[in-house]
Amino acid sequence: MSKIIRIGSRASKLALWQSEWVQTQLKERGVASEIQKIITKGDKILDVPLAKIGGKGLFVKEIEEALLREEIDIAVHSMKDMPAEMPEGLQLGPIPLREDPRDALISHKGKALADLPQGALVGTSSLRRQAQLLALRPDLEIVSLRGNLDTRLRKVKAGEFEAILLAAAGLHRLGWASEITEYLAPDTFVPAIAQGALAIQFRQLDIETLDQILFLNHSETGVTIKAERALLARLEGGCQVPIAGHATLKEAEICLTGRVLSLDGKTVIEETQTASRLEAESLGVAVAEALLAKGADVILKALYQ
């Protein structure tokens, strides 16, 4: 009889949905599992913008520590929360099929981004979204908005904000797609690295657990995520810097767009390249190198200081 897989998860409604989805897939394969809720640093500090808390892995570190202590067998994260570097002894496992990677606008009065009134108050917790919003609409007033998805939705419905920006994937997963006013096209509003994808992490030497979760892998998603995360790694970025990247796969060819922005949106540095799907990782590095050569290093150094 196979062991019970212990799944480590944040306690938010979305995180639990993601972990329960993995649990359901395991159950269909006859593998028993249980979910353990773990509170992360990013969950504890809700009154400070994420960028001001500092450090990488704000929503994963405590879960990774539990994995290393062998208190859980796998961890389920949102891939976009994962730093480029993995703690020694841990690695990413299979990557399931990616949800919609786009950003979504939810407007109090049902207006599209282009139609929001001048000076409209827009809420987001992401510097990447802030910078791209200001690049398109420098007249908007961007305000930091933290909290779970339902908290943010409640605030925009109450009229505290003219609009908010969220990941479409989370809204879809929780059954709230009807709240979306507008999907922002990835070619004009580039998503976060690996947005919409799940990360399943395990201990490198735990081959028994790996054998039980390998069926979750979606190869096409894995290829695009490899390119995007290689871009992130070369730029030495985390999830709270204005770095965007989106890869698409068409037959044997992968196309990757990377973007780095100044916080005020006045400087936008972008690069798009294509390569064979077998060269996904080197493509990510090449796009990052091109961005750095165009001046992204100046923006990132200023941010990290």
- The answer to whether 283 touches 291, Cβ cutoff 8 Å, is no
Give the mean pLDDT of 79-104: 95
pLDDT in tens, 154-210: 999 999 999 999 999 999 999 999 999 999 999 999 999 999 999 999 999 999 999
Domain boundaries, given as residue ranges, for the chain: 5-96+197-217, 103-184, 243-304
What integer is the mean pLDDT of 259-282?
A: 97
List the single range of 4-18, 73-87, 141-155, 257-271 with lowest mean pLDDT: 141-155
Q: State the Cα–Cα distance between residues 120 and 305, nearest whole angstrom.
A: 30
| Residue 51, pLDDT score | 52
CA distances from 270 to 11, 207, 238, 297 (A): 36, 40, 18, 13
* Annotated catalytic residue, options 43, 47, 81, 297: 81
Contact between residue 223 and residue 279 where contact means Cβ atoms under 8 Å apart: no
In CATH terms, are 5-96+197-217 and 243-304 the same topology?
no
- The model's pLDDT over 25-76, given as tens digits with 9 standing for 90+, comes to 999 999 999 999 998 766 655 544 555 545 456 678 899 999 999 999 999 9
For domain 243-304, say whether CATH 3.40.50.1820 is its number: no
Q: At 3, is the pLDDT very low, low, confident or very high (cuts 50, 70, 90)?
A: confident
Residue 149 has a pLDDT of: 84
- Distance of CA 177 to CAs 169, 174, 269, Å? 9, 8, 31
Give yes or no: 139 in active site. Answer: no
Average pLDDT over residues 224-230: 97
Q: Average pLDDT for residues 104-115, to the nearest whole number?
A: 96
Does the predicted model carry a pTM greater than 0.85? yes
CATH label, 5-96+197-217, candidates 3.40.605.10, 3.40.50.620, 3.40.190.10, 1.10.3720.10: 3.40.190.10
User: b/e per residue, 129-141, with b = 16+ CB within 10 A?
Assistant: bbbbbbbebeebe
Nearest to residue 227, comparing CAs of 286, 268, 168, 299?
Answer: 286
> How would you class 124 by CB atoms within 10 Å of its CB: exposed for 0-12, middle for 13-18, buried for 19 or more?
buried
Domain 103-184 has CATH 3.40.50.2000: no
Reduced 3-state DSSP string for 38-55: CCCHHHHCCCCCHHHHCC
DSSP letter (8 states) at residue 2: P
192 vs 18: CA distance, rounded Å: 18
Q: What is the pLDDT of residue 58?
A: 67
Tell me how many degrees the CA angle 91-97-101 measures, rounded to the nearest 5.
95
d(CA 9, CA 115): 39
| pLDDT level of residue 263 (50, 70, 90 thresholds) | very high
Which ranges of the chain does DSSP label H, i.e. alpha helix?
13-28, 41-44, 50-53, 61-68, 127-136, 149-157, 168-173, 207-213, 219-235, 280-291, 297-304
Q: What is the pLDDT of residues 116-140, one digit of tens each?
A: 999 999 999 899 999 999 999 999 9
Q: What is the pLDDT of residue 90?
A: 97
Instruction: Check residue 53 and give its pLDDT.
Output: 43
| C-alpha to C-alpha distance for 248 and 196, rounded to whole angstroms | 13
Other C-beta atoms within 10 Å of 178: how many? 6
End-to-end CA distance of the chain: 53
Average pLDDT, the chain: 92
Residue 57 is predicted with a pLDDT of 61
